[in-house]
Chain A
């Protein structure tokens, strides 16, 4: 059977702790223990990007990343990008360019874009597509997402 682990982590700049099952995913613990729903399980296989969270600055699929491995880590979720009033520039660009429809995949796209721009502030179109090609959007807002990211790079 599974065993419980106690973990300490920095979650959206706050020190928190939780008792997690060794088989529990980070996405599951964000929901169960912290009521954070922005990272969402969709494909459950790390293929769609809906569950993306940043672990020590690196985007990972929260549906595959074991919560126990987050012990001591710094986690940023979509909820940590803004204070709820003032949006992050990436969020702003997504709104202005209508870069989503149903919004279920949007957290993942925003966080991946965040990481893309941290790695490469002036990506080409091809680099943008490559970087975001692990995220899926069934509403197919891809042209608008590309526009949103282009706008951010132009302003950079």
Chain B
């Protein structure tokens, strides 16, 4: 053995001492700029058929018959599949993560305009598309309901005859067997005595706020393909954020064991929640089993508006405060427009619902959150899992209250903000969460104490803030495998999907840190359920924390095995060893290359060391009646945004001139990726704040196109945008990290609405903040800047 200095010299010149905190570029960067990155979108399978979907033209009705003869007769059409055909391979073809309520293809009923009824299969996708309009469906129309408040009323048209919880989630089981209602979930939280609190309050504020339905629009439209192996197994290639769940659900639908289904994915061209749980996978699986040929279905951008959307919401918010600004009571009722099928809506309703009182320390709280079926396209999770829809009401109202009390918006929030050691409304005691620090940083970055220039004339300037909180979705499990190969290199096997958030890179950083390897030298294997172990899903900013922990444990497990093998070679106890640059180094300076350990043990370059790590976030289920829990979530995310705007009082047009985002991210494992996540999330939410909204006529989406549904482009990005982090380490996060993918979305919308009121004295209660709404509010307020009276609220 030689000294470590000799061995390391030259071999690992320039080796960094740590992988954590490195702003390394995405590992797949080169593939992405050369057009060679792998997406399922690219996939061709020999013998593959393309499927195109025939959809319901009416929002609600009984499906009496489907005539496919003309489509089948078209040259080049291989087959046309209907709901009846699906029953031949899936006896109970209803799927979904929360409820088993969504048929693979419509069987007896259609529930929204766009509900899939049949699929045309052809070798040429253009022939399949041409044949779709030749299908004729006979539908007996039923009265439809589109508004979440209308649908929640007794006597409203009923979208589903019976509520069918999936059994996946314990907290949904109580809903089983309910009928005659559109309420798919009723979550409640009670803390203290809210009526008593309102009695004790000096002022009570009550408002109704609404958010609109939007859509994820990943640039890679959702795509899935299926094929059969020679032994009859099913292989599903899918742009999915949750390969493990897809495997379970397909196996359940077929009555197969999980090992008969293989689900693999590649890089995703964006996800944002659109590719979660199960989307097209059951359809391609059934089609493949029926025709015994590979089948690929790739949605168009327009079709994505029929697949999954962001919930529209209505929230009543009533808040009682003391004259000094202390919030003493808050009652919140939220109705979530879930659309035709539950998807993950009931979980959004609950998991976000319990945060509806905001990041505030309030003694008396009453929260009700209702998931409501309607005859619109289905709503699910979209970057924030419902949080932006709740921060909107509570942070708009925070500003209204502060203004009425004559308090500075920072001071009002600071007075009420949760702090470590204090109980959240759920009863869970907050820890390792930087509520006041995030607010302070925002105040500093906005230079709030400096004089703010407010232009005179028709363009008025204003500024506003907001702060939101999200709880990590739980209980969830991640499993990881770290495989050390005979030459000392390694691969990490996880089912976390990289959809642009940079998870491959951060995974490699964590494994590299533990194993003393450069991040660039760690291979991250993409999800393939034949190879990569279970992961709940890539959602809700959970991967860095959950999978990060699993990867860290797996790497430590591999390292321990390696040290066990090496301890006799180095004649040192395991505890005295460390890994650096492909060498095991002892405290007295002796070292051996990892590859030489394999050589010594196996007699040649051979063998593996397989490390396994499994991590489950801490959780205690809430009491059903009160929502109270000692551990409602493993960690909290805090995001705050400040906005400066210019409002054109003649047109109502709002320009955001500066957007400042601050979040508590725990340890920033990769500061560059963290900053990009905050920035991207904030700009995405800017779209939902300013322009994005699905419009309908008689249940038909009329702007299912990027021509009419406006997502942010270059000119929508504020001239100034900055992102800042507070790094308060989490005691159980990997190297102290928390999640960061959604925090930038939380407070963008209320910050801008608050800035508008600051600029021109009018309040808009419904997002998005279109010129029309701002203009109407200005007109209603007599177009005077000093008039603070809004139109949607009342005060006692």
Contacts and interface: CB of A to CB of B under 8 A. Distances in A.
Interface stretch (B358-366, B394-402, B496-504): B496-504
Of A44, A105, A138, chain B has the most CB atoms within 10 Å of the CB of A138
22 contacts: A37-B42, A42-B269, A48-B301, A48-B706, A95-B29, A96-B25, A100-B29, A100-B33, A100-B500, A101-B500, A102-B220, A102-B271, A103-B33, A103-B500, A104-B39, A104-B218, A106-B32, A110-B33, A129-B715, A138-B217, A139-B270, A140-B717
B541 to A, nearest CB: 15
B603 interface: no
Given A102-B269, A103-B28, A136-B711, A42 B220 contact: yes
Contacts of A24: 126
Interface residues of A, number: 52
Given A95-B25, A136-B713, A105 B219 contact: yes
Contacts of B268: 102
B36 interface: yes
Interface in B252-310: 267-272, 300-302
Nearest to A103: B32
Contact of B219 (A50, A77, A82, A132): A50
A91 B713 contact: no
Nearest to B302: A44
B466 interface: no
B34 A140 contact: no
A24 B684 CA distance: 33
A140 B679 contact: yes
A81 interface: yes
B220 A104 contact: yes
Interface stretch (A3-11, A64-72, A141-149): A141-149
Given A136-B219, A138-B684, A143 B25 contact: no
B34 A45 contact: no
A117 interface: no
Interface string B706-732: 110001111101000100000000000
B37 interface: yes
A75 interface: no
Contact of A95 (B30, B39, B220, B673): B30
A29 interface: no
A47 B452 CA distance: 39
Contacts of A78: 33-35
Given A79-B36, A140-B683, A132 B714 contact: yes
B714 A133 contact: yes
B679 A143 contact: yes
A102 B499 contact: yes
Nearest to A140: B683
Interface string B398-432: 00000000000000000000000000000000000
Given A40-B220, A101-B502, A140 B35 contact: no
B57 interface: no
Contact of A98 (B26, B218, B270, B705): B26
B22 interface: no
A79 to B, nearest CB: 5
A44 B300 contact: yes
B41 interface: yes
A37 B35 contact: yes
Given A102-B499, A133-B714, A136-B706, A143 B721 contact: yes
A95 B33 contact: yes
Contacts of A140: 679-680, 683-684, 712, 717
A95 B34 CA distance: 10
Contacts of A146: 714
B717 A103 contact: no
A50 B217 CA distance: 13
Given A79-B36, A94-B33, A138-B711, A44 B301 contact: yes
Of the four ranges (under 10, 10 to 19, 20 to 34, 35 or more), the interface on chain B belongs to: 35 or more
B35 A36 contact: yes
Contacts of A96: 25
A143 B717 CA distance: 8
Contacts of B29: 95, 98, 100
B786 interface: no
A36 B42 CA distance: 9
A38 B300 contact: no
Contact of A43 (B35, B267, B301, B673): B301
Of B301, B500, B501, B714, chain A has the most CB atoms within 10 Å of the CB of B714
Given A31-B42, A79-B34, A106-B35, 16 more contacts: A21-B126, A38-B36, A44-B300, A48-B706, A78-B35, A81-B34, A94-B33, A95-B25, A102-B218, A106-B33, A136-B713, A140-B680, A142-B683, A143-B679, A143-B721, A146-B714
Nearest to A134: B713
Nearest to A50: B219
A95 to B, nearest CB: 4
Interface string A11-42: 00000000001011000000100011111101
B672 interface: yes
Nearest to B268: A102
Contacts of A81: 34
A69 B763 CA distance: 53
B269 A142 contact: no
The 7 closest A-B pairs by CB, nearest first: A38-B35, A102-B500, A104-B269, A103-B32, A101-B500, A78-B35, A140-B683
A137 interface: yes
A94 B34 CA distance: 11
Contacts of B16: none
Contacts of B272: 138
B676 interface: yes
A31 B26 CA distance: 26
Contacts of A79: 34-36
Contacts of A138: 216-219, 270, 272, 684, 711
